[in-house]
Amino acid sequence: MNERIREPYYSLMYKASEGWNDHLFQVPPELLEKFAELIVRECMRMCDVADMSLLEHNCVKEASGTQSAKDFIKEHFGVE
């Protein structure tokens, strides 16, 4: 996992330290990191769903775009 997954956590902790939401300090960083990873994986899965739908309608060019988007998301966040 790369820093892009951890960045939202640190951003939340900074806001929490300013009184934004004190409850955030009670959530372990590992749990928030796992939550962020699950969101990223779901985005990647939705790219696959869009790809299948587009292929069913003979939209090959558009389908390749969804796979490119999935690859960009995967690389950006370092998720396998």
Specify the pLDDT at position 5: 72
Residues of the chain with pLDDT under 50: none
The pair of structure tokens assigned to 5 is 């997954």
Owning domain of residue 57: 3-77
Number of domains in the chain: 1
DSSP 25: G
**What residue type is assigned to position 51 of the chain?**
D
* Helix (H) or strand (E) run with residue 35 in it: helix 29-56
